[in-house]
Structure 1
Amino acid sequence: MAKKISFASFNLYNLQEAGKKVRSKVVPNALYDKKIAWTRKMLIDLDADVIAFQELWSRKCLDKVFRVEALSGYQLVYITQSFTNPWYGIAVAVAVRTPWKVKYKKLYKKFPFKKIVKLDENDDEDDEFNLSIDQFSRTVINLTLENPTSNKIPDIDVFAAHLKSKLPASAKNVTSKHRNTIGSAISTIRRTAEAAALRWILTNRMKYTNKPTVLLGDLNDDPRSNTLALITEQPSLTPSSTGRDTALYSALKLQQLRSFRDVFYTHEFNRLKDTLDHILVSEEFFESSNKSVWRHLETRIWNDFLEDDSPHTSDHGIIKAIFQLS
C-alpha cells in the first residue's frame, strides 16, 4: 500500500515540436533536443506521483519526454487524446504514476457563468459593472485518482490549471501610449474572473464532501494576491488552526509552518522573485483538521536554473509537495 503521495507543478516554457512555431518563431532542432533532454532529467530528479504541466504546445513532445524506462510508469492525460484532433496554442497536461490511476476525467473550458454584473446601489461609492466573459484562457483538467492497492486510501480530486498571465493583452481602439496599461488591466481582470470561475467549480465539487482535493498549476499570481485569496478562501493557517470545508491550503505555507522560512520563489522577472506556481490542498491534507487523511511532509522548489536564463530550461521553478497517509 502506498503510504505517500507527491504532487508537482512544472511549467514547460513553450514546449513545442522542432520545426513548428511558437508565437511566430520556429523551434530549432538543437533547442528542441536540449529541451527534451533537460525536461526528462528534471522529471527523473523530481520523482513525483502526480505532475501538472503548463505551456505544452503538442502532446508529441511530452510523449517523447516520457519515452524512457525511468518514466515508463506514468499515464499522460491531455486536453485531447487524439493525434488527429490537436489543440491550438499552449495547454495543460497531467502525468499520473502507478499505482495511482485515473478514475474520472472532466475538462473545464466554459465558465459556470457568462457575465459578472454589479448593480449601482446608489451609495455614492461605486457604479454599475458589467463584464462579459464565459471561458478560461486555458482549459482546466479535473481528474479523480484512485489507488487500487487498498480500499482504505480515498480517491483524490486533482485540478490542473494555468490562469491568464500578467503580460499585457492586445487592446483594441486604444492609443499606443496607453496600450500596455489597458492590456495589463485586461489580463488582470481576466485572471481574476478565471479565479472566480475556478473557485465556483471547486466549491461545487468540495462542499459537504470529505474528498481530498488538490489544485496544481501556474496561477500567475503570488500567495498574497487577490487572485489566490479568491481561490483558497484565505483559511487561517497557524499551528492551532482547524480545517474548513471548501478552503485550500498552500503547500508552501505548510512548509513554512515547519521551517519558519519565507524565501521560496518559482519565478523571476526584472530581478523580482515571486511565487506563481502553486500546490493548494484541501483540509484532508491539513493535519490540524479533524478530517485530515494525509499529513504534509515536505515542500521543495527547484529554481537554480532560473539564474541561467537558458532557452532550453524553464522560466519557472518546479514545485513539489509530499504527503504521508495519516
Structure 2
Amino acid sequence: MAKLSFATFNLRNLQLPGEVYYTTSRPYTRDEYDAKIRWTAHILKELKVDVIGFQELWSPQALEEAFDAAGMLRDYDIVARKAPAGKVQVGLAARKGMLKDTPEWLELPEELLLKKYRGSNDDEPEEEISVDIRKYSRPPLCATIKALSPKKAPQIKVVVAHLKSKRPTDLYREARKHPEIKPHTEALGSALSTIRRASEAAALRIHLNKMLKDTDQAVVVMGDLNDSTLSTTTTLLTEQPPYRLFEASTAGRKSDTGLYSAAMMQQYRSLRDVYFTHIFKNQMESLDHILFSEQFYDHSDKRRWSFHEMLVFNDHLFAPHGHDPEDVPNMLPSDHGVVKVVFDHKPAKKTE
C-alpha cells in the first residue's frame, strides 16, 4: 500500500558559523555549527519522510549542508530563502519529483480586518477594538506537491507556518515613554504576543478558506504554531471539525474547510496520555502540529489518504548534547520535538 509522510522540524536558528541571526545572540563557532549540522543530519536520516516543513531557518546553505551530511541532498528539492536581518524564515524539503508549480511565501490577505466598532446594544462591549498588523512575523510558505505513488493521487497544498511565540513582546521603548507600565511590561507584552499570534492565525485561516471552501483540494498545514492543540489560536486554524468516535455516528463525513489534528487522531487510538514537543520551566507542551483536510480523515466521504500513525522525536529535549558524543557541551540542538505523520493511500469508496 502506498504511503505518504510529513514532518515538521524546528531547527532552532540554523545559521552559518560567524553569521548573525538575532542581534542579541552570539554567532555559532565552527565547532558549534558542525555539531548542529551533525545532529540535524541524524534527525533527517531518522525521519525518512516525503515532505518536511522547517522553522527557524536563517541560511538555505546551512540546510543544504545538513542534507548533504545526511547523504540526502540529491534525493530532495529544498525550498528556502535567506533570512533578512532579524527575520527568521520557514522552509520545505520534498522528495525529488513531488514539487509542482512555484512555491510562494504568503502575505497577509487583504480581507484581514481586525476592527470592531462600538456596540449598538447592551450585549456588546462599548469599546471599539482595532488591531493593525501589516506583516506576518514569519511568512508562511505554501507549496503544491504530488505523491510519487500512486500516479492518480491528487495534488496537495502544503503550508509551513511559524506563528508568533508566547515570549512577551519587548516594550522597552514604551516603558521609557510611560514609566508607569514598567512593572507590568511582561504581562502587557504577553498580551500583545497573543494578539499577534491570533491575528496571524486568522490571516492564515483566510488563506485556507480560499483553498478549501467548496473544493476537493487536499491541504496539509504543519509547523510551530506556538500553542497547544485546543488553544484558541490553533482551533481558529482547525475550525474544530467533528471527529467520529463510534460506528453509528456520521460525524466527520463532511468538513469542507475544517482541518483535523494529527495529535488528536493519535490520542484517540493511543493508551498513552503524554504528547509534547516543547519544555519550558518544566512544563511540557505540544506546540508543533500537523493539521490536514478531510481528504486525510479516516471517516470522510472524500478521503483519499488514511491516517496511519504519528511519531514524535523528542528525546533530545532531555539530553542537551543530542545523540552525538562529539557535540559541543551545553548546546541544545533544538528546543522542539520533531513531529512525523504517516498516511496510507486508501480512498473512500465514493472517491475511487
| TM-score w.r.t. length of structure 2 | 0.86
| TM-aligned CA deviation for residue 4 of structure 1 | 0.7
**2: CA distance, partners of 1:77 / 1:261:** 35
**1: CA distance, partners of 2:38 / 2:67:** 10
1:78-97 deviations in whole A, cap 9, x for unaligned?
Answer: 146xxxxx533311000001
What are the within-5 Å matches in structure 2 for residues 101-140 of structure 1? 101-113=99-111, 115-124=113-122, 125-126=124-125, 127-140=127-140
Q: Which residue number in structure 2 is paired with residue 83 of structure 1? A: none
- Report the 3-state secondary structure (helix = DSSP H, G, I; strand = E; otherwise coil) of the residue aligned with 1:256: helix
Q: Which residue number in structure 2 is paired with residue 72 of structure 1? A: 74
1:111-150 deviations in whole A, cap 9, x for unaligned?
Answer: 3345411012233441210111122111111011124665
Pair 1:246-2:252 in alignment: no
Q: Which residue number in structure 2 is paired with residue 176 of structure 1? A: 182
| TM-aligned CA deviation for residue 291 of structure 1 | 0.3
Q: Which residue number in structure 1 is paired with residue 197 of structure 2? A: 191
1:58-103 deviations in whole A, cap 9, x for unaligned?
Answer: 11110111114344311000146xxxxx533311000001342233
Pair 1:45-2:19 in alignment: no
| TM-aligned CA deviation for residue 178 of structure 1 | 1.4
**One-letter amino acid of the structure 1 residue matched with residue 20 of structure 2:** K
Pair 1:285-2:296 in alignment: yes
1:141-172 deviations in whole A, cap 9, x for unaligned?
Answer: 10111246654111011000100000011224
Q: Which residue number in structure 1 is paired with residue 84 of structure 2? A: 87
- Relative to structure 2, which stretch is displaced further, 223-232 or 102-111? 102-111
Contact 1:31 1:312 in 2 (8 A): no
1:227-265 deviations in whole A, cap 9, x for unaligned?
Answer: 011100011223342230100000111112222433110
| TM-aligned CA deviation for residue 313 of structure 1 | 1.4
**One-letter amino acid of the structure 2 residue matched with residue 7 of structure 1:** F
- Relative to structure 2, which stretch is displaced further, 308-317 or 27-36? 308-317
Identity %: 39
Which of 210, 230, 239 matches 1:233? 239
Q: Which residue number in structure 2 is paired with residue 268 of structure 1? A: 279
RMSD between aligned alpha carbons?
1.7
- Report the 3-state secondary structure (helix = DSSP H, G, I; strand = E; otherwise coil) of the residue aligned with 2:210: helix
Q: Which residue number in structure 2 is paired with residue 316 of structure 1? A: 336
- Relative to structure 2, which stretch is displaced further, 130-139 or 271-280? 130-139
Contact 1:34 1:312 in 2 (8 A): no
**One-letter amino acid of the structure 1 residue matched with residue 224 of structure 2:** D
- Report the 3-state secondary structure (helix = DSSP H, G, I; strand = E; otherwise coil) of the residue aligned with 2:34: helix
**1: CA distance, partners of 2:16 / 2:303:** 43
- Report the 3-state secondary structure (helix = DSSP H, G, I; strand = E; otherwise coil) of the residue aligned with 1:279: strand
Structure whose residues are more often strand by fraction: 1
In structure 1, list runs of 5 or more residues that go unmatched: 81-85
| TM-score w.r.t. length of structure 1 | 0.93
**One-letter amino acid of the structure 1 residue matched with residue 220 of structure 2:** V
1:204-231 deviations in whole A, cap 9, x for unaligned?
Answer: 0111111211001000000010001110
1:174-207 deviations in whole A, cap 9, x for unaligned?
Answer: 3321111111111100000000000000000111
- Relative to structure 2, which stretch is displaced further, 285-294 or 234-243? 234-243
- Report the 3-state secondary structure (helix = DSSP H, G, I; strand = E; otherwise coil) of the residue aligned with 1:42: helix
- Relative to structure 2, which stretch is displaced further, 246-255 or 232-241? 232-241
Contact 1:15 1:56 in 2 (8 A): yes
Contact 2:76 2:94 in 1 (8 A): yes
Contact 1:17 1:58 in 2 (8 A): yes
Pair 1:167-2:163 in alignment: no
**One-letter amino acid of the structure 1 residue matched with residue 314 of structure 2:** N
The 1:104–1:26 alpha-carbon spacing in structure 2 relative to 1, beyond 3 Å, is closer
Larger radius of gyration: 2
**One-letter amino acid of the structure 1 residue matched with residue 78 of structure 2:** L
- Report the 3-state secondary structure (helix = DSSP H, G, I; strand = E; otherwise coil) of the residue aligned with 1:224: coil
The 1:101–1:173 alpha-carbon spacing in structure 2 relative to 1, beyond 3 Å, is closer
**2: CA distance, partners of 1:8 / 1:112:** 30
Which of 275, 297, 310 matches 1:299? 310
**One-letter amino acid of the structure 2 residue matched with residue 325 of structure 1:** H
